[in-house]
Amino acid sequence: MTQDRIKIAVQKSGRLTEHCLELLQQCGLKYSRGRDQLIGYGENMPVDFLLVRDDDIPGLVRDDVCDLGICGLNVLEEKRLAYARKGVEEPFKVLQKLDYGHCRLAFAYPEGSDLKSVSDLNGQTIATSYPRIVEDYLQKNNLNASVVEFSGAVEIAPSLGRAELICDLVSTGATLTANRLVEGETILESVACLVQTPVDIPEEKTEWVNRLVERIKGVQEVRGSKYIMMHAPRSALTEITDLLPGAESPTVLPLEEADGKVAVHVVCRENVFWSTLEDLKKAGASSILVLPIEKMLA
Ligand code: PRT
Ligand code: ZN
């Protein structure tokens, strides 16, 4: 690794790893892994990635060891609050929310307990791996509860008698159910995020950092977008465009020997469901095709 190469920190082994490596590949990066597997060396771009624990990613970005990083908003927010307590504002710039790693940080109450909602929190003890986010929430909502930090297996804290309730990450909710806990209020909706160092990036690197960031944004947009082609009566164009989710101004092409009908091509920034196609048909559209988009550059 040399100073003029871009370094991006990603999770070494966990829920985000495969998604991150796939995203980098979709940005055109071909890489080889070092023998220790801790670094991925870009072969066709001046971009390398460091494989680390997700908890280390905010610090590596903040200290400018890495120019970019990908990690969950839950981890970023916890670290941001820790830096804020030390007087460090804006330790990293969140550039883009990504389309994976979705989960929520939520309270969970033991089944059958008197605790049902945050209004019952005063005087209680909450176990969590995110003590600063929880404390911040309590403070903002004028609630007076104690927080005990667990680095893992938070869900067993109530049965161990260490806390009355927990605040933990949830995705399907199966872990809560298995531990006889009932999900309550969400205090943070989380998703994987692309972050950048707050330090000015040297000029020789900016071009590639910007290119990589634009490609990541492009890959994200493409995943959520579709290219739609159809035939439609010119008179129904407004109605048809209104039916398409996140559509930009359509390309309208004349159709030979089709009275009053045109071909409409449009990029939709959201997924298109069967019900939308049925509505388009009712509005007079025919020969409707929905195609995936491979690459897109705004
Ligand atoms: O080793 P390292 O420190 O890098 O990894 P880690 O163990 O801290 O993190 P990891 O790999 O478990 O998660 C990485 C990131 O994925 C998290 O920081 C979140 O941003 C995101 N994420 C998405 C999740 C979940 N979904 C999730 N379900 N992180 C954890 N969970 C836990 C949840 O707390 C529960 O205990 O997974 C369990 C199963 O969830 P349910 O609700 O589906 O049962
Ligand atoms: Zn972690």
Q: Label residue 148 by pLDDT band (50, 70, 90).
A: very high
Expressed in angstroms and rounded, the spacing between residue 292 Cα and the centre of ligand 1 is 30
With a 6 Å cutoff on the Cβ, whether 55 touches ligand 1 is yes
Q: Give me the CATH code for the 6-100+192-222 domain, please.
A: 3.40.190.10
With a 6 Å cutoff on the Cβ, whether 72 touches ligand 1 is yes
CATH class of 226-292: alpha beta
For residue 55, give the ligand 1 atom closest to its CA: 3
Q: Tokens 């066709």 identify what position?
A: 44
pLDDT(192) > 90 = yes
With a 6 Å cutoff on the Cβ, whether 171 touches ligand 1 is yes
The residue whose C-alpha atom lies closest to atom 28 belonging to ligand 1 is 171
Expressed in angstroms and rounded, the spacing between residue 87 Cα and the centre of ligand 2 is 24
pLDDT(161) > 80 = yes
With a 6 Å cutoff on the Cβ, whether 26 touches ligand 1 is no
Q: Give the number of the ligand closest to the Cα of residue 16.
A: 1
In degrees, to the nearest 5, what angle opens at C-alpha 185 toward C-alphas 184 and 189? 125
pLDDT(1) > 70 = no
Pairing state between β 125-128 and 68-72: unpaired
The residue whose C-alpha atom lies closest to atom 26 belonging to ligand 1 is 103
Q: Label residue 296 by pLDDT band (50, 70, 90).
A: confident
The residue whose C-alpha atom lies closest to atom 1 belonging to ligand 1 is 53
With a 6 Å cutoff on the Cβ, whether 193 touches ligand 1 is no
The residue whose C-alpha atom lies closest to atom 32 belonging to ligand 1 is 169
pLDDT(12) > 90 = yes
Mean pLDDT across the stretch 68-87? 98
CA dist., res. 179 & res. 173, Å (int): 10
Tokens of 212: 């990589």
Q: Do domains 6-100+192-222 and 103-190 have the same CATH topology?
A: yes
CA dist., res. 35 & res. 67, Å (int): 23
CA dist., res. 23 & res. 15, Å (int): 14
Which segments of the chain does DSSP mark as H helices, in order?
17-26, 57-62, 73-85, 131-140, 157-160, 174-178, 203-223, 237-243, 274-282
The residue whose C-alpha atom lies closest to atom 9 belonging to ligand 1 is 14
Q: Label residue 269 by pLDDT band (50, 70, 90).
A: confident
Decide which of 3.30.70.60, 3.10.20.30, 3.40.190.10, 3.30.1050.10 is the CATH code for 103-190.
3.40.190.10
CA dist., res. 221 & res. 223, Å (int): 5
Q: What percent of the chain has pLDDT over 90?
A: 86
Mean pLDDT across the stretch 130-155? 97
CA dist., res. 40 & res. 7, Å (int): 10
> Residue 106 carries which side chain, given as an amino acid letter?
A
Domain ranges of the chain: 6-100+192-222, 103-190, 226-292
Sheet holding 192-196, edge to edge: 31-33, 39-42, 47-52, 6-11, 68-72, 192-196, 93-97
Q: Average pLDDT of the chain?
A: 94
On whether the CB atoms of residues 63 and 9 are closer than 8 A, the answer is no
pLDDT(256) > 90 = no
Expressed in angstroms and rounded, the spacing between residue 109 Cα and the centre of ligand 2 is 24
With a 6 Å cutoff on the Cβ, whether 15 touches ligand 1 is yes
With a 6 Å cutoff on the Cβ, whether 172 touches ligand 1 is yes
Mean pLDDT across the stretch 155-175? 97
